Structure 1
Amino acid sequence: MKLRALATTSLVILLAGCGMSGGTQTGGRGTMEPKMNMQQAAERADQILDETFAAIVPPVQWTHGSAMPGNCSTDRRRTVMTIISEERMPAFLGLVDRFWKSKGFTFRAASKDKQAAYYVTPDGFQLSVLFGWKGQAHFEVTTPCVEKSDVLPPTTPPNGPDYSKLPPTAPNVTSDFWSAKKTPAPSASPSS
């Protein structure tokens, strides 16, 4: 599983470097005219993640992941600490898919096993959601190439313990909805 997560992350980084983002301000090369710096881009990435997690109902517990600033881009990561059962993965991915599309983000690709999906925003930010070991969801937003600057850590506090400075931890929070092993009847919906 760790190998799959590493391979998926490598794919995202590779695609980011190859300009997968398409229609940006420089003719589709995955970079923007430097109208923002890396700190501003990181804040935009945080905003995307904040809005995404606010749309997940019932809410999940998450922690920040490590960031990897580059020469002209950076990323923000969040790791979900709520266990998402195999039966609930399609509903979770569907919720994220609908939300991101409602924001005007473009679907780019999905993994063959349907446990990872990739999107791009109109302003060139690349997004991914993927499932790893024990039903742990991982979110990443990679910024387009912008003006180089220092990048501060995210200001949004995690909604549970902060594992960001610890070795990777398996999901350890159970949700009556997201961790359930049975799929509800079609008319049922998450309520809390």
Structure 2
Amino acid sequence: MNMQEAAEHADAILDGTFSAIKPAVHWTHGESTEGDCGVSRRRAVMTIISEERRGSFFGVVERHWQKEGYSRIDVSRNPKSPATYFETPDGFRVRLRIGGDGQAHFEVATPCVDKSSVAPPKAKTVGPNFAGGPIPEPNVRSDFWSTDAPE
């Protein structure tokens, strides 16, 4: 597998993850980076995920990843910036982290693969695409994900 193929697989992991989130959320591409032999793909959620719904959001994502056969490798219970880390059977590392501004961030890091050029992600964002520039704080309200009412 080369870096382009690995990047496409990382994009497919993200596509599958976002397809599993119901109700759907708005998102934008984050920075894609290339190392000596690996690639990281990132997405930021533009939907406001309230503190009251973060547990549900993590639950939806974690259940999807476990259903896909991913293994949990770490968790951060920091109340300001919780995160969960998983690994796919083929060595891709996936992460969901809530940033200090309350924004959900996803990252998929590939294992070391053969060096090649890498094209930008092809997936169409849900909402504006802020790739290549600063990503604003989440600003899309959802009747479900943004509510302050406990579940």
| Counterpart for residue 140 of structure 1 | 107
| Counterpart for residue 166 of structure 1 | 133
Work out whether 1:98 is the aligned partner of 2:60: no
1:135 alignment partner, SS class: coil
The CA deviation at 1:169 is 1.0
| Larger gyration radius, structure 1 or structure 2 | 1
The structure, 1 or 2, with the larger RCO (C-alpha pairs under 8 Å, 6+ apart) is 2
1:171 alignment partner, SS class: coil
Query: Match for 1:149: what amino acid?
Result: S
| Counterpart for residue 31 of structure 2 | 66
Work out whether 1:88 is the aligned partner of 2:53: yes
The TM-score, its normalising length taken from structure 2, stands at 0.96
Query: Match for 1:112: what amino acid?
Result: R
Please tell me the root mean square deviation across aligned C-alpha atoms, in Å: 0.9
Contact 1:107 1:120 survives alignment (8 Å): yes
Query: Match for 1:137: what amino acid?
Result: A
The TM-score, its normalising length taken from structure 1, stands at 0.76
Work out whether 1:51 is the aligned partner of 2:20: no
More strand by share: 2
Query: Match for 1:73: what amino acid?
Result: G
Residue correspondences, number: 149
Percentage of pairs with the same residue = 52
Cα distance in 1 for partners of 2:53, 2:77 equals 18
Contact 1:107 1:118 survives alignment (8 Å): yes
* Structure 1 residue runs of 4 or more that deviate by more than 6 Å after TM superposition: none
Work out whether 1:111 is the aligned partner of 2:76: yes
The CA deviation at 1:164 is 1.1
